Structure 1
Amino acid sequence: MSERLKGKTAIVTGAASGIGSAIAELFAQEGAQLALLDLNSAACESLAARLQRETERQCIALRVDVTDAARINACVQEIEAGLGAADILINCAGINVFRDPLSLSEEDWQRCLSVNLRGPLNGIRAVLPAMLARQYGNIVNIASVHGHKIIPGTFPYPVAKHGLIGLTRSLGVEYASQGIRINSVSPGLILTPSAEEWLESCPDPEAERQRQRDLLPCKRIGEPKEVAYTALFLASDEARFINATDIVMDGGRSQIYHD
């Protein structure tokens, strides 16, 4: 590996599986020392131990609910004491909430916004003081194509993802002159555990997989590591003139007019 993140400290939320774990693996391979945050503490600790063993990078795991601002702040203080101030924050923790608008409960509405929108803000607010003190920091939010195009039957998830892209742009501009870059990535269908679970729940899983492939110009579904490489670029100093920007990576699907 090229060690593009050598000497950097990175925090990754939602690190226990899927896109988050792919980002953690790639960042460790590229030289970063890591703090992995997730509700699934067992999976997170296992990943941290493996990455530290394989890459010899310092890697710690912390159990975190991103909706709990106090807990996020406490974790960041612990990370700063053990690994130093974070150079990079990857906000990857998120949940799918798809409900009919008229039957949507207040609990599900708040849960969707709390995890997918307030959670990233909690993380950003926790790391910003140290980043501002050093006039350096790279933040990448994992948004979604749902923040650009509306798929019927997915409310209120797109509301939160539109908000996350807006948060990215707003705060990216707010802190641009102080050495902080804030960008986001909007993946399309990616073969994460949750996507695999959805595909397997379909009446004919293989037929649905093929239908999804056929919708894509590249005729294949994306992989978590492909999102990780985009996050790596944005988090590295190679992207130092990219700020307040969202990168859509959906194999070109959103550019096609469908019947």
Structure 2
Amino acid sequence: MRNERIKGKTIVITGASGGLGEKIAYTCAQSGANLVLLARNQEKLTQIAERIRMEYQVDCTAMELDVSRHDMIPGAFQQIVEHIGSIDILVNNAGYGTFIEARHVELADVQGMFAVNVLGLIACTREVLPTMIERHHGHIINIASQAGKLATPKSSVYAATKHAVLGFTNSLRMEMSQHGIYVTAVNPGPIRTNFFELADPNGTYIENVDRLMLDPDKVAEKIVAAMLTNRREINLPGWMNMTSILHTLMPRIVERLGRKAFFKK
């Protein structure tokens, strides 16, 4: 389904060299949006951008950017504005996680996850806000996680980063409401992407939840359909989000009843 609201708009997507970010890019292109794809892997980005330009006849620019290199972010976004123009939508998709108990996690991994998932997201957002506020137009979409609502064993640091993303997003939404800028949090459960190559190298978690994993194409469709609308959150799947809601209301009961499932990582 096409989203006519984004036709001809400029959309920047971080973490666009694979997984959900790549799927969002293709889905945006189907609706006629012009794209700027950001990620560390320039080769993959270039291949995706060429395919998008060929198949959908839209502008698509591939730019190498590691969002953990916070000092590089201002220059990258300045280059986008100078060469392409104003940014209508920013999709903060870059992120990663590892499944490991807190007692075994390396400090370098903690720093890395916060550098990408939280600080990189905030740094990218800061770069687009001034012109969006000036134009009284724009949309920030932050890819968080159901882990940001309900933490489970072996994902303490990842869950902490996503709790931070949700806190930032909720505050930003209220701040930007007076400027006509939309802010949306996307909270998916496990998606069938290459995310788990790092998070779950042994394949234990994937094996346990395989039948419950989300289709990345369908997740991308829901995200793109919400672009330039005042959608507060996208929560997927519904039953998992209901578990998060119940945990807020009855944490002891949910943690006791869900103990076996939570330890499936």
* In 1: Cα distance, 2:99 partner to 2:202 partner: 15
Q: Using the TM superposition, give the Cα deviation of residue 251 of structure 1 relative to its aligned residue in structure 2, in angstroms.
A: 4.8
The answer as to whether partners of 1:147 and 1:162 remain within 8 angstroms in 2 is yes
| Aligned twin of 1:150 | 151
Mapping for residues 169-208 of structure 1, pairs under 5 Å: 169-195=170-196, 201-202=202-203
Change (3 A) 1:196 1:222: farther
| Aligned twin of 2:58 | 57
* In 2: Cα distance, 1:197 partner to 1:251 partner: 26
Q: Using the TM superposition, give the Cα deviation of residue 228 of structure 1 relative to its aligned residue in structure 2, in angstroms.
A: 1.0
Q: Using the TM superposition, give the Cα deviation of residue 107 of structure 1 relative to its aligned residue in structure 2, in angstroms.
A: 1.7
> Structure 2 counterpart of 1:233, which letter?
A
What SS does structure 2 have at the residue aligned with 1:235? coil
| Aligned twin of 2:237 | 250
CA offset digits 1:25-64 (Å, max 9, x no partner): 0001111100000011110111011101111100000110
Any gaps of 5 or more consecutive residues in structure 2?
244-256, 261-265
Mapping for residues 1-259 of structure 1, pairs under 5 Å: 2-4=2-4, 5-195=6-196, 201-202=202-203, 209=207, 211-213=208-210, 220-236=212-228, 239-240=229-230, 242=231, 245-255=232-242, 258=258
* In 1: Cα distance, 2:83 partner to 2:227 partner: 21
**TM value normalised by structure 2:** 0.85
What SS does structure 2 have at the residue aligned with 1:156? helix
CA offset digits 1:73-100 (Å, max 9, x no partner): 1111111122211000000000113333
The answer as to whether partners of 1:8 and 1:33 remain within 8 angstroms in 2 is yes
* In 2: Cα distance, 1:198 partner to 1:133 partner: 40
Taking only the aligned residue pairs, the percentage that are identical comes to 32
CA offset digits 1:144-186 (Å, max 9, x no partner): 1111112211121000001101111001111111111111101
Q: Using the TM superposition, give the Cα deviation of residue 135 of structure 1 relative to its aligned residue in structure 2, in angstroms.
A: 0.9
Farther-moved stretch of structure 1 (97-106 vs 184-193): 97-106
CA offset digits 1:9-37 (Å, max 9, x no partner): 00000000000000000001111100000
* In 2: Cα distance, 1:201 partner to 1:36 partner: 30
The answer as to whether partners of 2:97 and 2:199 remain within 8 angstroms in 1 is no
CA offset digits 1:184-205 (Å, max 9, x no partner): 10111111023367778337x9
The answer as to whether partners of 2:187 and 2:235 remain within 8 angstroms in 1 is yes
Count of residues in correspondence between the two structures: 245
Change (3 A) 1:98 1:195: closer
* In 2: Cα distance, 1:123 partner to 1:196 partner: 25
**TM value normalised by structure 1:** 0.87
What SS does structure 2 have at the residue aligned with 1:160? helix
CA root-mean-square deviation: 2.1
The answer as to whether partners of 2:101 and 2:153 remain within 8 angstroms in 1 is no
Change (3 A) 1:251 1:195: farther
Q: Using the TM superposition, give the Cα deviation of residue 254 of structure 1 relative to its aligned residue in structure 2, in angstroms.
A: 4.4
> Structure 1 counterpart of 2:209, which letter?
Q
The answer as to whether partners of 1:112 and 1:160 remain within 8 angstroms in 2 is yes
The answer as to whether partners of 1:67 and 1:122 remain within 8 angstroms in 2 is no
